[in-house]
Amino acid sequence: GSWPDVRESPGMRVDFVAREAVSLFNQSMELKLEVRNIFAQGYSEFQKREGNRIYYNKYDVGTSVALSLNLMF
């Protein structure tokens, strides 16, 4: 028989971004916190037939965290 279509499973991606205006030494600044892919969901492409699953592309995306301080002139 023929193989079924390739399925894509990108996972659920949840991000958190917070920005706050602050003043330090009489300078306006913006403090920013970013947390990307909080639940560390991976990605996969596969075919499924008779209970078997064959992966064509599968990888972990991981979680990233960034903190920045922007000075406004």
What does the alpha-carbon distance between residue 20 and residue 40 come to, in Å, rounded to a whole number?
26
Determine the average pLDDT of the residues in 43-72: 89
Task: Give the burial string for 13-51 (b: 16+ CB within 10 Å, else e).
Answer: eeeeeeeeeeeeeeeeeeeeeeeebeeebeeeebeeeee
What does the alpha-carbon distance between residue 69 and residue 29 come to, in Å, rounded to a whole number?
7
Check whether 1 has a pLDDT greater than 70.
no
pLDDT tens-digit profile of 2-15?
A: 768 888 888 888 99
Task: State the pLDDT at residue 68.
Answer: 97
Residue 20 has, within 13 A of its CA and on its CB side, a CA count of 8
